[in-house]
Amino acid sequence: MAAESFEEDASSSVAAKEDELVISDSAQHPANLICELCRKFYNWGWVTGTGGGTSIRHGDHIFIAPSGVQKEMMQPRDIFVMDFHTRNYLRRPPSLKPSACTPLFLAAYDQGAGCCIHTHSQWAVLVTLLVERDLGKDACFEIECIEQIKGVPKGKGKQGNLGYYDRLRIPIIENTAHEEDLKDTLEGAIKKYPDAYAVLVRRHGIYIWGDNVVKAKTLCESLDYIFQLAVEMRKQKLLWAKPQTTWGKFQAWFESTTTTLPSGYHTQLYP
Ligand SMILES: CSC[C@@H](O)[C@@H](O)C(=O)COP(=O)(O)O
Ligand SMILES: [Zn+2]
């Protein structure tokens, strides 16, 4: 066999092997799922104009979408595959670059996530602006007593979801000119809020992760619902949560104890 044709054969068999990482009849294969999810996310306004994206970890393989492409038009062959341990690419589609969100996705996988979703949802962006205007740059988004909060997990290593009376807190970090430069502040926010499965990025969007695809997707839906509601609540001058002053904390504690007190006692003390 001529040397040239041997090299051609070898490189086409490498390409075929790499394709096996993303080509599958199963709708549940990560490469198929990323494309399917991004089509839904586009329809929900989460990955408009090439922004946003989704990544899935399956065993030792991390599946990542390409950069700067219409996320709703992606095909499984466009997907990059990285080894979780070495962080080397096992598959790089020619003439495409991996998503600029990759370092942020990896930060979520270092937390034990199985899926990470990045959206440019307008509700998420608006919430970051309202928090900055009304509570300052260092504040996080806080809300309580909304049924959909029950769709949010309590935190890493904790069983179950938040309850109706629990306060949901989502940290907010400042945007940077380049997506990859968000990594350090995102990791800082995760350290400061170890229960958070999501970090808002001011004037940009949100990163959300979960143990698996279903958990990440349903959390993304719950949070987007809550953000939209929060924006509408603010228009109606409704509070997201009770003020956390010492007095506010005392009142909250007192209210939680009034059921055991004689009727009228509460109103006599605090008319
Ligand atoms: C509209 S461009 C948005 C990008 O700069 C970025 O914020 C983003 O979310 C997507 O990055 P990408 O590299 O295309 O996966
Ligand atoms: Zn983005």
> Is residue 96 in contact with ligand 1, taking CB distance under 6 Å?
no
Instruction: Retrieve residue 128's tokens.
Output: 């970051």
Q: In the predicted model, what is the mean pLDDT of the chain? A: 90
Choosing from 69, 78, 99, 186 the residue with most ligand 1 atoms within 8 A of its CB, the one to mutate for a pocket test is: 99
What is the ipTM score, two decimals?
0.98
Report residue 84: phi and psi, to 5°.
Answer: -60, -40
Query: Cα–chain-centroid distance for residue 204?
Result: 13
Give per-residue pLDDT as tens, 136-175: 999 999 999 999 999 999 999 999 999 999 999 999 999 9
Question: Which-ligand-closest: CA of 103?
Answer: 1
Give per-residue pLDDT as tens, 225-258: 999 999 999 999 999 998 876 665 565 556 555 5
Give per-residue pLDDT as tens, 81-138: 999 999 999 999 999 999 999 999 999 999 999 999 999 999 999 999 999 999 999 9
Residue numbers belonging to the annotated binding site:
101, 118, 120, 204
Give per-residue pLDDT as tens, 23-44: 999 999 999 999 999 999 999 9
Side chain identity at residue 254, one-letter code:
F
Whole-angstrom distance, CA of residue 4 vs CA of residue 50? 40
Whole-angstrom distance, CA of residue 211 vs CA of residue 182? 22
- Measured at the CA of 144, the angle between CA 139 and CA 150, to 5 degrees, comes to 120
* CA dihedral sign, ordered 150, 154, 156, 160: negative
> Is residue 252 in contact with ligand 1, taking CB distance under 6 Å?
no
Tell which atom from ligand 1 comes closest to the C-alpha of 98: 13
Task: Identify the structural domains of the chain with CATH numbers, from first to last.
Answer: 1-99 (3.40.225.10), 117-240 (3.40.225.10)
